[in-house]
Amino acid sequence: MASVPDPSELAGHGVRVPARRHGTLRRALSWIAEHSFVAIGGRWLYRSRHLAAGRFVERFETVLVPGLDPALEGLTIAQLSDLHAGAFLGPGDLSAVVAAVARRCPDMVVITGDMIAHHWEESLTVLDDLAQLQSPLGTYAVFGNHDYRGRNEGRIAEAYAERGIRFLRNECVRFEMGNGVLALVGLEDLEEAKDVDLDKARGPVQVGDVEIVLCHNPRGASAIAGAGCTAILSGHTHGTQVDLPVLRRLGPQHPGLRLDLGTTTLIVSRGLGVVAVPMRVGVPAEVVYLQLKGCSPL
Ligand SMILES: [Fe+2]
Ligand SMILES: [Fe+2]
């Protein structure tokens, strides 16, 4: 696994982070690699090695919440991330993942961005699979940096909304349960969105709510964390995807799978899909389950 840098490496970034710019040579190499792997059955290879039953990881994370209302005790959120539908992930490839999530009976499902690899239509190829994810509180999603390509993210949101999956775009949904409230906040992507507005997204959140923030890029976590924010769910890093010296540096900085930022817990998913090459080395695809557990008030 990748080393886990000190959490202070996340500090100093505002909620917005500069977009990574890829040079022409790197883009060309990525294009050549992707098309070469497609020609030799890269999608089949990836599905059989990383998305078949028993090939991906189900990671369970418990987050302690002081004074949690009994109605929220044990509430479980299943997190999928970084699908990157496209050359290496398409219709039916998530069937084992969907079946695994269904067996866990989560209270809610969230998808933390990077639905596509290149084109917005790719998101439609996995919609039949994702629409099967049923839970009492529903399925919610945010966009990742890839999803803004061509500026068609609104079309993705519309298509998904028709199938019951709602994208939160600087928005919040509050779920009242017993005397407690779960506030689910979704941010636009910190690198590529035209408008990232944390204050607007948090507007409906009230003191005492259990606030969970969906934010594709974990680099904004230090700006989001703080009193009242229970957890941040991110993805983006693919856990480095290829965990080898030098190669791991080609991807986005991976801060670790779980970090405590004061009273806020940051969970970073290693995701399900890939970019450029249909392989993961030392980094499994995964579904994360976050479960709330009450503890004594501070
Ligand atoms: Fe990604
Ligand atoms: Fe990303």
> Residue 2's pLDDT is what?
39
> Residue 19's pLDDT is what?
77
Q: Which ligand is nearest to the CA of 191?
A: 2
Determine what percent of the chain is predicted with pLDDT higher than 90. Answer: 80
Q: How far is the CA of 94 from the centre of ligand 2 (A)?
A: 19
Q: How far is the CA of 147 from the centre of ligand 1 (A)?
A: 10
Higher pLDDT pick, 107 / 36: 107
Determine what percent of the chain is predicted with pLDDT higher than 70. Answer: 94
> Residue 11's pLDDT is what?
44
Q: Mean pLDDT, to the nearest integer, of 199-219?
A: 97
Higher pLDDT pick, 21 / 274: 274
Q: How far is the CA of 235 from the centre of ligand 1 (A)?
A: 7
For 145-201, how does the pLDDT look when each residue is reduced to its tens digit (9 = 90+)?
999 999 999 999 999 999 999 999 999 999 999 999 999 999 999 999 999 999 999
Of 218, 297, 199, the residue nearest 265 (C-alpha): 218
Q: How far is the CA of 98 from the centre of ligand 2 (A)?
A: 21
Q: Cα 83 to chain center, whole Å?
A: 9
* Domain spanning 24-295, CATH class: alpha beta
Q: How far is the CA of 285 from the centre of ligand 2 (A)?
A: 15
pLDDT at 6 over 60: no
Q: How far is the CA of 297 from the centre of ligand 1 (A)?
A: 37
Higher pLDDT pick, 153 / 253: 153
Q: How far is the CA of 198 from the centre of ligand 2 (A)?
A: 19
Q: How far is the CA of 115 from the centre of ligand 2 (A)?
A: 9
Strand partners for 97: none
Positive or negative, the Cα torsion across 126, 131, 136, 142? positive
DSSP of the chain: ------GGGGTT--SS-PPP---HHHHHHHHHHHHHHHHTTHHHHHIIIIISTTTSEEEEEEEEEET--GGGTT-EEEEE----BBTTB-TTTTHHHHHHHHHH--SEEEEES--BSS-GGGGGGGHHHHTT---SS-EEEE--GGGGGGG-HHHHHHHHHTTTEEE-SSEEEEEEETTEEEEEEE---TTT-S---HHHHHTT--TT-EEEEE-S-GGGHHHH-STTEEEEEE-SSGGGSB-STTGGGGS-----SEEEETTEEEEE---S--SSSS--BS---EEEEEEEEEE---
For 67-90, how does the pLDDT look when each residue is reduced to its tens digit (9 = 90+)?
999 999 999 999 999 999 999 999
Q: How far is the CA of 187 from the centre of ligand 2 (A)?
A: 13
Q: Mean pLDDT, to the nearest integer, of 13-18?
A: 73
Confidence band, pLDDT 50/70/90 cuts, at residue 253: confident
Higher pLDDT pick, 246 / 113: 113
Q: How far is the CA of 17 from the centre of ligand 2 (A)?
A: 12
Q: How far is the CA of 250 from the centre of ligand 1 (A)?
A: 13
Q: How far is the CA of 176 from the centre of ligand 1 (A)?
A: 32
> Residue 3's pLDDT is what?
40
User: How much is the mean pLDDT over the chain?
Assistant: 92
> Residue 12's pLDDT is what?
44
Q: How far is the CA of 105 from the centre of ligand 2 (A)?
A: 27
Q: How far is the CA of 87 from the centre of ligand 1 (A)?
A: 14
Q: How far is the CA of 274 from the centre of ligand 1 (A)?
A: 7
pLDDT at 264 over 80: yes
For 37-57, how does the pLDDT look when each residue is reduced to its tens digit (9 = 90+)?
888 889 999 999 999 999 999
Q: How far is the CA of 83 from the centre of ligand 2 (A)?
A: 10
Q: How far is the CA of 133 from the centre of ligand 1 (A)?
A: 21
pLDDT at 249 over 80: no
Domain positions in the chain are 24-295
